[in-house]
Structures are given as structure tokens and as C-alpha cells.
Amino acid sequence: MADMLEQSLARLGTDYIDLYWIHNPADVARWTPHLIPLLKSGKVRHVGVSNHRLSEIELANRILGEAGFRVEAVQNHYSLLYRSSEDAGILDYCRDHGIPFFAYMVLEQGALSGKYSPKNPLPEGSNRAQTYNGMLPQLKALTDKLASIGQRQGAAAADVAIAWAIAKGTTPIIGVTRPDYIDGLVRGCYEHGASRRRHCAAGSSRRHRQREHPRLVGKRDGV
């Protein structure tokens, strides 16, 4: 793990990493202790875990806690369609422990944006078309409802889906592929109220990052 961190630091051209994400929960008991020297060295300032179950987050927190550190962020798939983190009590755990919860795929890769429908499906041949095109007829009632809620506020369906995730206490990471989507992101934050404006994060979509920053999407990077 120390070697992987050194490689990431070299690729990123930095001496330390603010938030080091553990992308997947591969044997939490075995690997989490290896983070402690990295935290002690200051090369990793904070640790976040992604795609972890509640028991895995608790275990990671316990192991880090014994050395005076803690899990400081959680990042899981969370959207109007996919609420396992809510059902499993992860949102409650994060709230009770003051851990920011970063929600990814809030727009289900565009399927909840209101842009796609049975008449205008996701681009054929893409992975997302394979995942979502078959369910677009069932999603139509939801995306229509998001659009009609948005209409009252001068907002788009995507903005409402983002505002919903913020209202649930999460920080959405949105895959932004066009500059005007940033405006939507800002609207989504404003819709939820000025006091929570900070709860917005723009990610770039994996496809965009692959095009623009191919080295940042390596599977083995814990960053």
C-alpha cells in the first residue's frame, strides 16, 4: 500500500493526499492497518472508504480509531433508484458520526436526467445503454415527475434529482460532461436552500476523465 501511495503521489506530482479513498472493501481487516503509518507520516491527511457495507465502515473506523484516526468520508452509489445505503443504515451512521456521505451516480449515469426516454434512449453500444435503456419505459413516470416539480422552480429534472440527494444529507458527486450542467448543479444546490450550498461537488464522468485525464482513472489508484 505504501508503494502504491508513492506511485500515486508521483503521478499526481504532490507530496501528500488530502483525502485518500479506499475504492473497494477488499479485506478491510487486513488492509486498513496499513493506512495507519501513511496517516502518521502525513502523506495521507484523511481516509475515505467507498462501496463499503455498514459493518465494513464500522470495522475500518474501529481499526483506525485504535490509532487515533477515523474514517472521514464515505462514498457509495445513492440515487432515487438505488437506496441501499439508506436501507442499510449507512446514512444514519454517517450522520451520527459526523462523516460526510458522498453520493455517486445520483443521476444513474444520465437515466434520471430527464434527457433520455424510450423515444430518445441512451447512446446505443454504451454500457449505460445496456444497463438503463430496458428500464426507460418504467422510469418515465419518475423523470416526468422530476420535470414537473422542477418546472415550478425553473429547474430541470436533473436538478431536482440532485436536490433530493442533498436533502437526504448527502454530497452528490455529479459526472459533468457539459459546461451548462454546472449551472444545473448550482440550481440543484440552491433549490435545497442557501444554507446547504456547500453540499455540492462536481466530479467528471468516468468517460470524460478517461478522455482528459487517463491516468486518474486507474483501477488500482486508491485516490
| Residue 22 touches ligand NAP, criterion: CB under 6 A | no
For residues 73 and 19, the answer to whether their CB atoms sit within 8 Å is yes
Set of cell numbers at residue 182: 454546472
User: Roughly how many angstroms between the first and final C-alpha of the chain, as a whole number?
Assistant: 12
CB of 147 to ligand NAP, least distance (A): 11
Phi, psi of 151 (to 5 degrees): -55, -40
The residue ranges of DSSP E strands in the chain, in sequence order, are: 17-22, 44-50, 71-77, 101-104, 171-176, 201-204
User: Looking only at residues 44 through 63 of this chain, which bind ligand NAP when binding is defined by CB under 6 A?
Assistant: 50-51
| Residue 173 touches ligand NAP, criterion: CB under 6 A | yes
| Residue 211 touches ligand NAP, criterion: CB under 6 A | no
Q: Which of 28, 71, 105, 160 binds ligand NAP (CB under 6 A)?
A: 105
Q: Which of 80, 184, 189, 223 binds ligand NAP (CB under 6 A)?
A: 184
Which stretch, 12-20, 52-60, 90-98, 106-114, contacts ligand NAP (CB under 6 A)? 106-114
| Residue 90 touches ligand NAP, criterion: CB under 6 A | no
Set of cell numbers at residue 10: 508521483
Rounded to whole angstroms, how far apart are CA atoms 135 and 167? 26
User: Looking only at residues 66 through 85 of this chain, which bind ligand NAP when binding is defined by CB under 6 A?
Assistant: 75
Rounded to whole angstroms, how far apart are CA atoms 94 and 117? 35
The residue ranges of DSSP E strands in 54-108, in sequence order, are: 71-77, 101-104
| Residue 203 touches ligand NAP, criterion: CB under 6 A | yes
- Torsion, Cα 223 17 106 128, to 10 degrees, reads -20
Binding-site residue total for ligand NAP (CB under 6 A)? Answer: 27
The residue of the chain with the least Cβ separation from ligand NAP equals 175
Which stretch, 27-35, 36-44, 137-145, 198-206, contacts ligand NAP (CB under 6 A)? 198-206
Give the interface with ligand NAP as residue ranges (CB under 6 A): 23, 50-51, 75, 104-110, 113, 115, 156, 158, 173-177, 181, 184-185, 203-206
